[in-house]
């Protein structure tokens, strides 16, 4: 048997009501779902558009990045090249700097050497200046001494020449025998010895010296050039000294004295013990002039005058500078002393 179901009253209405409610709810749900889907579709569209924009931006970024990467590689390559150039230049400049340092050291060393040399030269200059000052003082003394000697000669020599010319005229020339007749039978003419003319020319002109040589007065004067003729020794040496003054007669006079008689007379006179200083100074002037003639060197040696002059030089006090200078000059002309001996003797 079928069991019969008994429906409570109002069940159908409730069911209908529920159906209507459910139908209404379903319709609202669909609408809501549709609205939600539309909204979601719009959001998807916006997101798609956003993604498209982001994709485009990404593409641009990638393009820019690729460009940057290429630039970076180029920059790195350029940087490497510059770095190598820089290293090369640094190496070159380092070498140049080393060379400059070496050159600077050499220049510093040269400068130090030059400074030391300059100091030495300055010191030498000071010494030479001091030596020059001493030499100037010594030269003034010697010049004063020479002036005194020449002043002393100025009065006595001319008087002596007059006296000697008179004496030669009176005692010697008058005794000269006339020479033999010549080929043509004529006798040579003899120049008259005019006393007043010779006196004037001996005192004032070179013609007196010419007459002195012409009448061969040197051998006559040499007879009085000895210590025994005390009265005429000084005047005799003064007359010979006067003939050594620079003139056209100087060379003929020196040649007239370049013989054995003159050197023998000087040798005997130099052997005189304690010979007067003034006589010795004047004689040294004459010997100094004669020492310049090379052929006289043998006469100096034959009569050992050079040895006597060396001994006098050794024993003469340095204060007698005039005599020392003449002795040194004479010995130097004879090749018996060095050139600087003159300076060394006068610098004492």
Using a cut of 0.75, tell me whether the model's pTM lies above it.
no
Residue 30's SS3 state is helix
Task: Give helix 11-171 / helix 230-243 axis angle, nearest 10°.
Answer: 130
What's the farthest any 2 CA atoms get from each other in the chain?
Answer: 233
Which pLDDT score is estimated for 68?
85
Residue 15's SS3 state is helix
How confident is the prediction for the chain on average, in pLDDT?
78
Cβ–Cβ under 8 Å, residues 209 and 251 = no
Concatenated DSSP letters for 205-268? STHHHHHHHHTT-HHHHHTT-STT-HHHHHHHHHHHHHHTSSSTTHHHHHHHH-SHHHHHHHHH
Which pLDDT score is estimated for 292?
93
Structure tokens at 34: 């549709």
Query: Quick one: which of 314, 312, 317 has its CA closest to 266?
Result: 312
Q: Which long-range contacts (CB under 8 A, 24 or more apart) does 334-337 make?
A: 334/291, 334/297, 334/300, 334/306, 335/297, 336/306, 336/310
Structure tokens at 51: 């993604």
Query: Quick one: which of 291, 200, 214 has its CA closest to 249?
Result: 214
pLDDT for residue 291 is more than 80: yes
Which pLDDT score is estimated for 29?
73
Which pLDDT score is estimated for 118?
92
pLDDT tens digits along 152-206: 555 555 555 556 556 555 555 444 444 444 334 444 433 433 333 333 335 335 7
Identify the CATH number of the domain defined by range 198-334: 1.25.10.10
Which run of H or of E encompasses 58? helix 11-171
C-alpha span between 71 and 279 (Å, rounded): 113
Query: Residue 146 — pLDDT band, cuts 50, 70, 90?
Result: confident
Domain ranges in the chain are: 198-334
Which pLDDT score is estimated for 336?
85
C-alpha span between 257 and 240 (Å, rounded): 10
Concatenated DSSP letters for 263-323? HHHHHHHHTSTT--HHHHHHHHHHHHHHHTSGGGHHHHHHTTHHHHHHHHHHHS-TT-HHH
- Position with higher pLDDT, 192 vs 25: 25
């Amino acid at each position: 048997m079928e069991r019969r179901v008994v429906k409570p009253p109002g069940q159908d209405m409730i069911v209908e009501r529920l159906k209507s409610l459910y139908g209404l709810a379903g319709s609202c749900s669909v609408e809501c779902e549709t609205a939600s889907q539309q909204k979601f579709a719009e959001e998807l569209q916006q997101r798609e558009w956003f993604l498209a924009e982001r994709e485009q931006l990404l593409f641009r970024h990638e393009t820019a990045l690729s460009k940057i990467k290429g630039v970076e590689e180029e920059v790195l390559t350029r940087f490497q090249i510059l770095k190598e150039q820089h290293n090369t230049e640094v190496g070159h400049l380092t070498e140049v700097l080393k060379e400059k340092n070496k050159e600077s050291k050499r220049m510093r060393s040269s400068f130090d050497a030059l400074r030391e040399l300059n100091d030495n030269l300055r010191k030498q200059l000071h010494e030479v200046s001091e030596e020059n000052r001493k030499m100037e003082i010594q030269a003034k003394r010697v010049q004063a001494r020479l002036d005194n000697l020449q002043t002393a000669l100025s009065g006595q020599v001319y008087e002596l020449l007059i006296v000697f010319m008179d004496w030669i005229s009176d005692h010697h020339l008058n005794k000269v025998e006339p020479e033999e007749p010549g080929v043509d039978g004529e006798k040579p003419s003899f120049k008259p010895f005019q006393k007043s003319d010779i006196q004037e020319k001996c005192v004032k002109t070179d013609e007196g010296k010419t007459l002195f040589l012409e009448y061969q007065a040197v051998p006559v004067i040499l007879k009085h050039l000895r210590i025994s003729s005390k009265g005429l020794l000084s005047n005799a040496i003064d007359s010979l000294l006067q003939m050594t003054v620079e003139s056209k007669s100087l060379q003929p006079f020196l040649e007239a004295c370049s013989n054995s008689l003159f050197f023998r007379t000087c040798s005997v006179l130099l052997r005189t013990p304690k010979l007067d200083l003034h006589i010795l100074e004047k004689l040294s002037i004459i010997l100094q002039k004669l020492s310049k003639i090379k052929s006289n060197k043998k006469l100096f040696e034959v009569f050992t005058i050079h040895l006597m002059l060396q001994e006098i030089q050794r024993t003469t006090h340095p204060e007698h500078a005039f005599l020392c200078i003449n002795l040194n000059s004479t010995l130097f002309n004879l090749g018996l002393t060095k050139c600087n001996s003159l300076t060394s003797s006068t610098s004492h």
